[in-house]
Amino acid sequence: MFKKITLFLFLTVTCMSSVFSKPVEVKYFYTPSCHFCLMFKMEVLPVLKDKYKGKVTWRELDVTKDEKAFSEIYTFNRTHGTDMAYPSVLIGDTLLTGVDGIRYGFNSAYKEALKTQKLSPSDIGESNIKEIYEKMSLLAILLSGLIDGVNPCAFAVIIFFISFLSVYGYNKREVIYVGSVYCIAVFLAYLLLGLGLFKALYAISGFYTVIKVFYWLVAGLCFAFFALSIYDFVKYKKTGTAEGLVLQLPKSFKLAINKIFGKYLRVKSGKSALTLIGASFVVGFFVSLIEAVCTGQIYVPVLAFILKEPQLRAKAFLYLVLYNVMFVMPLILVFALSLAGYKSAGFSNFFKKHLALIKVLLALVFLGLGLMLVLRT
């Protein structure tokens, strides 16, 4: 009889506790482009939801769209001295990260949260996340844009353009018209190209296998370009000439650019200022698209890096604008100096003198981007 009463009381208490105890709230932080998040969502999350059905309420938070969610997870990591990582699951005062970390640590974290019933706070408070953008991510993008603007592909076209304007007798005012519009066209062409590529990358970011292969491919290309930049550096130091260097604009592309310059800008007599401006814009736009075959060696890895960083992707347009501003800065500087009296021969000599340094800087950019992509893949 005593055993029956004991069993009845135990079942009663268990049922009462299951009725009156609130489910434990679990916050799942993720980014759409994170392949580990996709793996967790496909392989682990359905199992956990089924196992803890009725015991857990799930809140799935995309940190690229929910600034409050990003602020919360960032504040938690900063307070506890842990690194930002996705996927992350917050149960009470316990933060689990990574697919295996969540898979194998969830049960004990759930039991601890169930004991205390300290649900994860709904509002930790707004944190100053500007400091994130002041660190290496922004600096890497700015430096990449600047170095991309002085790489052999871009700089060779700049020098040719200055020489072209000088040979065909453009006066100072016409150079201002043509040069200014040309710079604007280059900026817009690269910005539109970046937005198109970024949209395409974002479209495939939901496909785990595709995006994983893409990131590894881009990282591999970065390391390959790093090796080729070192090869070009060694070859140039030995020969003292740019002939035979691997990473440069192909001759066929150079000829195509020359034809575009000649077609639209060779004959300037009789052309109004408006006609010159229109011709300059067309030239700048189409030359940029051809040139992008070479300069895209840095541009695509930078876009991939922005896509992988949720705090960057939230302001992707701003970062693309900043990258392209830095990319056209050397072009603007060369035009300003040409107006001040510097000749194309002087720019060419400067480029040849510092080509080895440019190759080293390009190698470092490729290595850095490759490592950042690998560490985040």
Residue 95: give its domain's CATH number. Answer: 3.40.30.10
- According to DSSP, the β-strands at 24-30 and 56-62 are parallel
Whether 88 and 141 map to the same domain: the answer is: no
Spell 44-81 as b/e; 16+ CB within 10 A means b: bbeebeeebeeebeeeebebbeeeebbbbbbbbbeeee
- According to DSSP, the β-strands at 94-97 and 88-91 are antiparallel
Q: Give the percent of the chain with pLDDT over 90.
A: 11
Q: Which among 93, 127, 161 is the end of a domain?
A: 127
Whether 113 and 215 map to the same domain: the answer is: no
Residue 291: pLDDT over 50: yes
**Among all chains, which residue has been given the structure tokens 């196992």?**
51
Residue 330: predicted pLDDT:
87
Give domain status of residue 7, yes or no. no
Closest C-alpha among 265, 280, 295, 266 to residue 182:
280
**Burial label, 122 (beta-carbon count in 10 A; 0-12, 13-18, 19+):** exposed
**Among all chains, which residue has been given the structure tokens 């002939």?**
243
Whether 244 and 341 map to the same domain: the answer is: yes
What's the token pair of residue 55?
């015991």
Whether 97 and 145 map to the same domain: the answer is: no
Residue 144: pLDDT over 80: yes
Amino acid at 208: Y
Total structural domains in the chain?
2
Q: Look at the alpha carbons of 218, 222, 223, 228 in this order and tell me if their dihedral is positive or negative.
A: positive
Q: Which residue segment(s) compose the domain that 73 sits in?
A: 23-127
C-alpha 373: how far from chain center: 9
Residue 138: pLDDT over 80: no
**Among all chains, which residue has been given the structure tokens 């689990």?**
96
**Burial label, 238 (beta-carbon count in 10 A; 0-12, 13-18, 19+):** exposed
Cβ-contact 115, 87 below 8 angstroms:
no
Whether 139 and 234 map to the same domain: the answer is: yes
Please give the DSSP secondary-structure letter assigned to residue 43.
I
Contacts of 247 (CB under 8 A, 6+ apart): 151, 152, 153, 225, 228, 229, 232, 294, 297, 359, 362
Residue 220: pLDDT over 60: yes
Residue 1: pLDDT over 50: no
Residue 120: pLDDT over 60: no
Please give the DSSP secondary-structure letter assigned to residue 120.
P
| Spatial distance between the Cα atoms of 211 and 77, rounded to a whole number of angstroms | 27
Give domain status of residue 158, yes or no. yes
Give domain status of residue 337, yes or no. yes
What's the token pair of residue 91?
């149960």
* Helix, coil or strand: residue 319: helix
What's the token pair of residue 243?
């002939």
Whether 191 and 92 map to the same domain: the answer is: no
Give domain status of residue 138, yes or no. yes
Cis peptide before 250 (omega within 30 of 0): no
Whether 204 and 347 map to the same domain: the answer is: yes
Range with lowest mean pLDDT among 223-227, 323-327, 367-371: 367-371
Give domain status of residue 4, yes or no. no
* Helix, coil or strand: residue 56: strand
Confidence of residue 95 (pLDDT cuts 50, 70, 90): very high
Give domain status of residue 96, yes or no. yes
pTM above threshold 0.85: no
Whether 159 and 120 map to the same domain: the answer is: no
Whether 117 and 222 map to the same domain: the answer is: no
Whether 141 and 175 map to the same domain: the answer is: yes
Whether 222 and 248 map to the same domain: the answer is: yes
Instruction: Over range 158-169, report the average pLDDT.
Output: 76
* Helix, coil or strand: residue 245: coil
Instruction: Over range 127-154, report the average pLDDT.
Output: 67
Residue 311: pLDDT over 80: no
Give domain status of residue 12, yes or no. no
User: pLDDT for 22-75, tens place per residue?
Assistant: 688 899 999 988 888 988 988 899 999 888 888 888 999 999 888 888 889 988
Whether 237 and 274 map to the same domain: the answer is: yes
Residue 236: pLDDT over 60: yes
User: pLDDT for 315-340, tens place per residue?
Assistant: 778 888 999 999 999 888 888 888 78
Residue 177: predicted pLDDT:
80
Give domain status of residue 336, yes or no. yes
Pairwise pLDDT comparison (133 vs 242), residue with the higher score? 242
Angle between helices 273-308 and 316-339 (to 10 degrees): 140
Closest C-alpha among 195, 174, 193, 196 to residue 185:
193
Pairwise pLDDT comparison (349 vs 270), residue with the higher score? 349
Cβ-contact 152, 225 below 8 angstroms:
no
